[in-house]
Amino acid sequence: MNLTLKVWRQKHADDPGKITTYEAKDIPEEASFLEMLDITNTQILEDGGEPIHFDHDCREGICGMCSLTINGVPHSKEMGITTCQVHMRKFRDGDTIWIEPFRAKAFPVVKDLMVDRSAFDRIIAAGGYIDVRTGSAPDANAIPIAKDDALEAFSAAACIGCGACVAACKNASAMLFTGAKVTHLNTLPQGQPEKDKRVLSMVRQMDEEGFGNCTNQYECEAVCPKSISADVISQLNRDYAAASARELSDS
């Protein structure tokens, strides 16, 4: 396959950046999208240029590092997969492909297609954990949990924090990510003692990071590689409203 790539190139966070055109030649149909970029980078290096910088790690659809916007869609138009699981057989010979980083104020560009997603880490650090004594593994196995609650917690826990939900949202909202992390822990018995503290701290940190508000367009749900349901946003709103009311009554 021979392709034309329109790639966002940006030297550093303060550089204005621009789209640069590359010809990707002799790309195997069985190659993954990242392997296609590897081949293109080899061609660029052979021509004496600087390779395209992009994030990657496991290349197995697990870690979410491969945060690319492909033809305007985070992770591509393919449903339920990350960028590294997109294969070139989904494109046609002669196609033009636009490749950009995830766009959000809270995700500043580091270089080219790499963005700083440490804002997510700070949201987790604000309350996405359980630090009360919950016992050992046998104790956890002895705690009865309703099947529906277990399934809801497990589904929310599938979030890999890739940031596609933010990149797809017109407001750059992190509600799906934060909702998944809050719902995961708040649904379980072990998460109940810190439930209010958790949701208040994480939502306030989310706002402090500069993420926008949710306006229920559901683009986040559509691009999520783990198919996290927007129901976690509803749960987040309920938990936050209840925690805020209790905080107000206690003050």
What domains, with CATH codes, occur in the chain? 3-111 (3.10.20.30), 117-250 (1.10.1060.10)
> Are the CB atoms for 102 and 70 separated by under 8 Å?
no
At 3-53, the pLDDT tens digits run 999 999 999 999 999 999 999 999 999 999 999 999 999 999 999 999 999
pLDDT score of 138: 80
pLDDT per position as a tens digit, 53-90: 999 999 999 999 999 999 999 999 999 999 999 999 99
DSSP secondary structure letter of residue 26: S
Pairwise CA distance, residues 177 & 228, whole Å: 9
Band the pLDDT of 125: cuts 50, 70, 90.
Answer: very high
pLDDT confidence bin for 214, thresholds 50/70/90: very high
Computed over its alpha carbons, how large is the radius of gyration of the chain?
Answer: 20
pLDDT number for residue 30: 96
Predicted TM-score (pTM) of the model is 0.94
Strand 3-9, strand 96-101: pairing: parallel
Quick check: 141 pLDDT over 90?
no
The Cα–Cα gap between 70 and 77 comes to 8
Residue-averaged pLDDT of the chain? 96
Question: pLDDT confidence of 134, banded at 50, 70, 90?
Answer: confident
Identify which of 164, 176, 162, 151 has the alpha carbon closest to the alpha carbon of residue 228: 176
pLDDT > 80? residue 140: no
Question: Is 80 exceeded by the pLDDT of residue 200?
Answer: yes
Contact 54, 113 (CB under 8 A): yes
- The pLDDT, as a whole number, for residue 150 is 93
